[in-house]
Structure 1
Amino acid sequence: MSRRFIAAVLLTAALIAPAAPASADPSPANGHGLTVVATNVIDSRQTEYTVSTAALLKPVRIRVVLPSDYDPGTRYPVLYLYHGTSGRPSDWIGGGDALQTTAGKDLILVLPEAGYDGDGGGFFNDEWNGGKRGGSKWETFEYDQVIPWIDDNFPTIADRDHRAIAGLSQGGYGAAHGAALHPDMFTSVATFSGAPEIFRNFVVRAGASFIIEAITVGLNGNPPFTILGDPIVNAAHWQGHDPGTLVENFRGMDVSLWTATGIPGELDSFENSYGGGAGNVIEGLTHFSTLAFASSLKNAGIPRRIDNYVFGTHSFPYWAQDLREYLPILMDRFANPSTPTAISYSSTAKAYNQWNWGVAVHRSATEKLTTLKNASSAGFSFTGADAATVVTPPSYEPGSAHTVTIKQGAKTSTSSLTADASGRLTVAVPGTSVVNVG
């Protein structure tokens, strides 16, 4: 192993993670772009599936952990739990005590792979590749393929109220990223020494860019800016994948954050702290990212829970402890879910659909930030430089007439719209404006 490679590993260790009854169906069906190429029954609770997909360059693994008293006739809530940089699904079992922590809990645990055979990982994004896209599509795999495949093949309660997402280090970013892009899919999100903000705060942006590019080049062997592009030239793309910029999307979600400073504490030993100083520095960097994200949530008036402990390093003894603390919080959330009555969603996409609201922005630029806020049957606000078409959920009586008032600055216009056969209204907005529906 070259000194150059070792230096890259230490420098980029951010986001590092150092039988028959085991599944509802030991040979789950292919679907949602996934093909099962191997099945490894590990024990009475765990099965690991190797899957191939056109979204990725190589087959990867998904480990499924079932409840210790699993009953195939019962449906269970699900926690998607991600490993960190240079990690594997088994990390949470070997170092994170996930098997013991989830024992006795009515919960299915899903541990998807987020990199190729322990490389740096794809940072949970579809690769930018200079705007050409292509390459590895980790965002597509993790959120668009794995989740519906799990719901199709295991007895999950397949709704937002019973689905959560969490992760350590780079996987903490992955959890916050998935929750930000798909708030209608998750009731709870947690990060353990994660990097949930990568762009909004300028200082955090500089650190995140350095780490991501070091991982890209030093661990993955790819050209710089492969994953997200240049944070200056491709700023809108970074915004669209920064949970801190997309903070409005966390309204109505349970948000829990764990972070430490990197100063060795009571759970440390020579091996996981004093002998691995790079991890201590990394914890300091993720600490700053977590505090920045917590501040962004607070400034937006979005509740969050944060365990900001002074002594602690970027190591599994702390992540195992974090998971033990999170599980009771999560199980209570599953038992007492909450769905917002009015929704908010920010995105840089030209078109998106969330919470059954559809937005199509009329612009030539591929990416630019817009926000649909406080959207309900009574109306909504839209923030964006360009005109857009907003299609509501089927909230109205089909064929019913409604007075729609659009206020844009000092200008106000009123029109009558008729709900279509499914009970939706189609509203043309001229840009940043407030819309009231009567």
Structure 2
Amino acid sequence: MNILVIGSGGREHALIYKLRQSPQVRKIYCAPGNGGIASMAETVDIGPLEVDKLRAFALSAGIDLTVVGPEIPLMAGIADVFEDAGLTVFGPKKSAAVLEGSKVFAKDLMKRCNVSTANFEVFSHLGDALSYVRKQHRPLVVKADGLAQGKGVSVCHSEEEAETALRNLMEEKAFAGAGEKVVVEELLEGKEASVFALCNGENGVIFGSAMDYKRAHDNDEGPNTGGMGSVSPHPMLDKNMEQTVLNTVVLPILHGLLEQGIAYKGVLYVGLMLTKDGPKVLEFNVRFGDPETQAMMPLLKSDLPELMMATCIGDMGHINVDWASEKSVCIVAASQGYPGHYETGFPITGLNDVKDGFVFHAGTAIGKNGSVITSGGRVLNVVATGKNYEEARQKAYMEVQKISFPGMFYRSDIAANLDT
């Protein structure tokens, strides 16, 4: 089996690490890849949005399975283009990818399918939105309808903060068309959780869970990021809770989409808030999480290409997702200034010194002298496993301390006190 992975981050590196363990796999390509992926797969200099070039490459290279990592090409319709060419692709079509591409679509679907979520209102006019928040007298969350590089969500503890967020989206057009519509919803309290399901259009099976650390600095302080660390499995989710998520969220959403003529195939990421009233959905993503995938892949015992192919062809009756009994901790090493302005091009040292863990590259490239250099905000993911969270945590921090580059920083409290 020849596999093409599309993307260039730590998520794609982790997927390739697991894909290449399968005896079914002959060769893996990655477009465009990064400095670490280049040691595991043949990198192809084609961007994720160059859909026609990617299709032509897949046909010429005899690709049996294409795995789409990021959401942007899915929303651009890459799955539609590949399927029309007779190619097998793991990822939903454009009509289904709107589940992540539009907060309004997702919230309306949840309401129609009786899926538990925060109470919300949708606005397309600033005046109406401002009038609404002035009457609420409670913490609110303001969300841009469309994609906003992970920065379109504002948690507002005062009327003034909500007004600022609304004006930023709807008046100042901070994220262009993403803020033409906004969702204003109640602020849910509890612990966040990420649950993943493999879906064949009609049915789904749970594919693990994780907990993500979004804030840039210790004690959940600082700006939101794409994720500064993760653990898997989620410490508060057992098999019964996962089954509840499948029955009350995943399956109703799949059936609700089918009623609209949309068959969702691929992995569905369910972002939850575990409240005192039970799990409530915060958001859906239409691809594997990042950095959750980096924590999950070292624990997966099942054959990943086999799971993906079964999902693509719709034969999920015999799927069994098998996980190691250990815990996993992922620490993200980032560039100074991230998630704001940061500089790149710095040499990375110590990568070969990591012996008791995994290093998944995110923002790296190969320099002129063949060395690995920084090329992004989130640079590396250092992952370790252990019999409990604390053992995995200690190993991960021991390994990340062996690596350095100018301006490198990471949180020191990932997975702290999870075993108590």
Q: TM-score, normalised by structure 1?
A: 0.25
More RCO (CA 8 Å, sep 6+) = 2
Question: Larger C-alpha radius of gyration, 1 or 2?
Answer: 1
